[in-house]
Amino acid sequence: MSNKPKAKKPRRLHNYDIIDIVGQGGMATVYKAMQKTLHRIVAIKELHAAIQAEGVPKKRFEREAVAVASMSHENIVGIYDFFEHDDNRYLVMEYVGGVSLEEIMQKCRVLPIDIVVMIMLQVVRALEYTHAMGLVHRDIKPSNIMVTHDGVVKLMDFGVVHTTHWENLTVPGTFIGTPRYMSPEQIKGNTVDFRSDLFSTGIIFYELITGMTLFDGSDKTEILQKIIRRSIRRPSRVRPGLPGVIQRAIMRCLRRDPRKRYPTTQQLRRLLEQFLGNQNLLTMRQRISLFLKEKRCVRVDDTELLPAMGPELAKPLFTAHFMSWWVGPERFGFWRSMLAATAVSVLAAFCLWWQVPTVASGDNAKAVGGLKVVATPWARVYVNGRLREVTPFEQPIAIHAGYNRVILEHPSLGRRGYEVALRQGELVTLAIDFRGFAKSQGVTP
């Protein structure tokens, strides 16, 4: 049985209407709320009452607010406000609609290599900015990394962030962080700097690539001992064919001696960018988003659907105001309730139709076979001038009889065209390694 205090959902806090409880841990509860003055959804983090009375957690909570408020980066969850209400302290943050990296790892045991690198590149960008601000996160782990429904990666929970300018709040003989993702210097109680975050990043990178837990154990002591002493199996032995540059990046982050890790976070970021061919952010996000939706890793709720319909309907208050007018206490009636429910269902259906790409009925009617594509690192697939898929995809693309013009395109490494003649019931597979193709065309991958 859990000893965590059970949170009761308040109806209103300060200038915010509480919608739901979206997370609860040993130290804090996180609410989803509406900031009525600005018509936006936010997340509110409340320190538990029992914790508020303790000096160190309370000071760390205040530090988190100050540290993150000073930062502005697309890959870091933003802070909007910090206030006191009824002797409790609250942190108002950007609400991130999506899933944690931890959830993705549970649903998709092994991810495509390019997806892993695209996710880790955004994590490293967030860390590069954090480290440039003179801060060390100290708690890098999958549950503290969110991936939005449109493929943006967000680093969050700076509750144990530290800088040399601050008083050390860690009690001698104790350590801060999550055991499975701690660096050796954290475990030993030594002074930590940005390289400690790189070690934790290396653990996540390893686990995403291999689908295996790097440091496991029956208890905390066993896990910590393995981090300090256990030899690390090269990820290519678990996942044959792993590009050498990615393996070397992972293993360098996991060096036990901090001096042997990357001398700057920027150097790791540049390496990952070069591996991906210096793709633009929009392309990467689209690739991540399509993959997560295909694997059904991302839930699509009303706060994510409405923005796809345009700025007027994107206001989160739209649904709340509509329902309030139709089924509010003063106007409640059977027929209005039925009409309101029908209208909201139609709106949700339209949003889904708007956001999810579909195959034209004419294609399905003529389809007599399928097309599969295997592309390294990945490719956009155009059939007869229309974008049909982004690799990898599970189900073959339905194409009709006769000759079809197929183009495989990578934004940085080029494009290649094929004439595909398909007979009834035939399945055709196209394979391309864009790195080799790019070199043959005189392009540096």
The answer to whether residues 111 and 297 touch, using CB atoms and an 8 Å cutoff, is no
- Whole-angstrom Cα distance, residue 318 to residue 71? 31
Number of residues that make up the chain: 445
Element (H, E) at 402: strand 402-410
The sign of the CA dihedral 256, 259, 260, 263 is: positive
SS3 181: helix
The sign of the CA dihedral 237, 238, 240, 241 is: negative
Q: What DSSP assignment string belongs to 282-324?
A: HHHHHHHHHHHHHTT-S---HHHHGGGG-TTTT-THHHHHHHH
426: its two tokens: 């035939």
- Whole-angstrom Cα distance, residue 362 to residue 388? 14
Q: Which of 104, 34, 165 is nearest to 297 (CA)?
A: 104
Q: If you search the block for the tokens 């700076």, which residue do you land on?
A: 158
**Residue 139 annotated to the active site:** yes
**Separation in Å, CA 89 to CA 14, 65, 263, 320:** 11, 11, 38, 27
- Sheet arrangement for strand 367-376: 397-400, 367-376, 427-433
Strands 367-376 and 427-433: parallel
Beta bridge partners of 29: 24, 46
Annotated catalytic residue within 17, 81, 139, 363: 139
Amino acid at position 389, single letter = E
Backbone φ, ψ for residue 402 (5° rounding): 95, -160
Element (H, E) at 182: none
- Whole-angstrom Cα distance, residue 397 to residue 233? 38
What residues are annotated to the active site? 139
